């Protein structure tokens, strides 16, 4: 009798485990807070991340660039002059091309800067006119570690398990500067418990060589997403599937022509799905609709009709509401 019970238990456990998705979260459409809740607060500030967390997203994004003293900073570009007041505080530190680089400043120096809503460094004009007013507030840049601590703390105090979605920015530039951005980031992620595909962390990169190196040479077991920008890259899908778990295409790579007032699609999503790749397009913005008449329509067409597996958005609350309903 005992042995029959044991046999049945083993069979049940085995079949349950087989049926379980790799990560439960990845079996539904995921909302990725692009640079935090950046439609409402300056991008990549701690405030924008806390707000995104409160919106109950699935993942919060971190774009990563190294400081002079090798601290990964959460910032979208290798430049500082379109999201901070670096020009007024360190006027003499610009390079020959007139730009101010994160990599030329120590973490301590970066902390003295005021972060603000994105603007055109040539004209000073705010990029997204209806968003948080440029120059208002007291926002700062921060490190990857500081953000991981914020998310860890909020996950505990709110009883949630919101994931992270870090991006290795411009690996070639970092290499030329003699920096090991990827290795430093992987070490920090591992120190904070992000090591495998079930650890609620998706690592992304536009540079295919670097992402392949992360899997094959650096032996990362994280969930990897290959970012894509150009139509030619869609020919590489089979190769991407040899090291990546998903793709993050510009959403326009999914759209084809409009026929009888209806959007039609390229084969990108179904091709990716056939290869077992998840598809997380970027970037859904309620204040930059282009070919759509409303944000609702954009979400309906891409999330539902095109059947992607999630998306990056500056307006996470709207996407969470849309998917909930």
Task: Kindly state whether residue 47 participates in binding Ca ion, applying the rule CB under 5 A.
Answer: no
Options 196, 283, 288, 300; binder of ligand G3P; rule CB under 6 A? 283
Task: Kindly state whether residue 63 participates in binding ligand G3P, applying the rule CB under 6 A.
Answer: yes
- Residue 174 known to be catalytic: no
Count, residues in the chain: 325
For residue 13 the two structure tokens come to 């456990």
| Closest approach of Ca ion to the CB of residue 62, in Å | 8
Q: Which does 43 bind (CB under 5 to 8 A by kind): Ca ion, ligand G3P, none?
A: none
Report H helices in 55-163: 86-89, 107-110, 144-158
Options 30, 48, 51, 227; binder of ligand G3P; rule CB under 6 A? 227
Q: Which does 34 bind (CB under 5 to 8 A by kind): Ca ion, ligand G3P, none?
A: ligand G3P
| Closest approach of ligand G3P to the CB of residue 139, in Å | 19
Residue 1's SS3 state is coil
Residues 155-194 contacting ligand G3P, CB under 6 A: 167
Whole-angstrom distance, CA of residue 200 vs CA of residue 183: 19
Report H helices in the chain: 2-19, 46-54, 86-89, 107-110, 144-158, 171-176, 181-191, 208-216, 237-240, 268-274, 295-299, 316-324
Q: Which does 194 bind (CB under 5 to 8 A by kind): Ca ion, ligand G3P, none?
A: none
Whole-angstrom distance, CA of residue 147 vs CA of residue 254: 32
What's the alpha-carbon Rg for the chain, to the nearest Å?
A: 21
If the CB atoms of residues 90 and 309 are measured against ligand G3P, the closer one turns out to be: 309
Which stretches of the chain bind ligand G3P, using CB under 6 A? 34, 63, 76, 167, 204, 227, 248, 282-283, 312
User: Catalytic amino acids?
Assistant: 34, 76
Residues that bind Ca ion (CB under 5 A): 63, 167
């Amino acid at each position: 009798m005992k042995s029959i019970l044991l046999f049945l238990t083993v069979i049940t456990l085995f079949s349950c485990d087989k049926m379980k998705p790799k990560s439960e979260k990845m079996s539904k459409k995921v909302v990725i807070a692009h640079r935090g809740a950046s439609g409402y607060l300056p991008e990549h500030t701690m405030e924008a991340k806390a707000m995104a967390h409160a919106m109950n997203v699935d993942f919060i994004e971190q774009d990563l660039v190294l400081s002079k003293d090798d601290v990964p900073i959460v910032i979208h570009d290798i430049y500082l002059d379109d999201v901070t007041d670096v020009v007024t505080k360190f006027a003499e530190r610009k390079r020959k091309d007139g730009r101010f680089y994160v990599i030329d400043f120590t973490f301590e120096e970066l902390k003295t800067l005021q972060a603000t809503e994105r603007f055109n460094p040539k004209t000073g004009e705010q990029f997204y006119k209806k968003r948080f007013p440029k120059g208002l507030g007291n926002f700062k840049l921060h490190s990857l570690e500081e953000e991981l601590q914020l998310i860890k703390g909020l996950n505990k105090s709110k009883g949630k398990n919101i994931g992270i979605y870090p991006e290795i920015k411009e690996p070639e530039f970092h290499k030329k500067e003699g920096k090991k951005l990827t290795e430093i980031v992987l070490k920090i992620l591992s120190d904070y418990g992000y090591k495998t595909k079930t650890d609620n962390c998706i690592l992304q990169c536009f540079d295919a060589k670097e992402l392949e190196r992360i899997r094959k040479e650096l032996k990362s077991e994280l969930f990897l997403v290959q970012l894509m920008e150009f139509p030619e890259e869609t020919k590489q899908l089979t190769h991407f599937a040899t090291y990546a778990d998903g793709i993050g295409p510009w959403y326009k790579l999914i759209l084809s022509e409009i026929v009888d007032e209806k959007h039609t699609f390229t084969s990108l999503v179904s091709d990716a799905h056939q290869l077992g790749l998840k598809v997380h397009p970027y970037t859904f913005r309620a204040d930059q609709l282009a070919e759509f008449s409303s944000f609702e329509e954009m979400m309906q067409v891409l999330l539902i009709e095109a059947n992607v597996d999630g998306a990056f958005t500056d307006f996470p609350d709207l996407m969470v509401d849309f998917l909930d309903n």
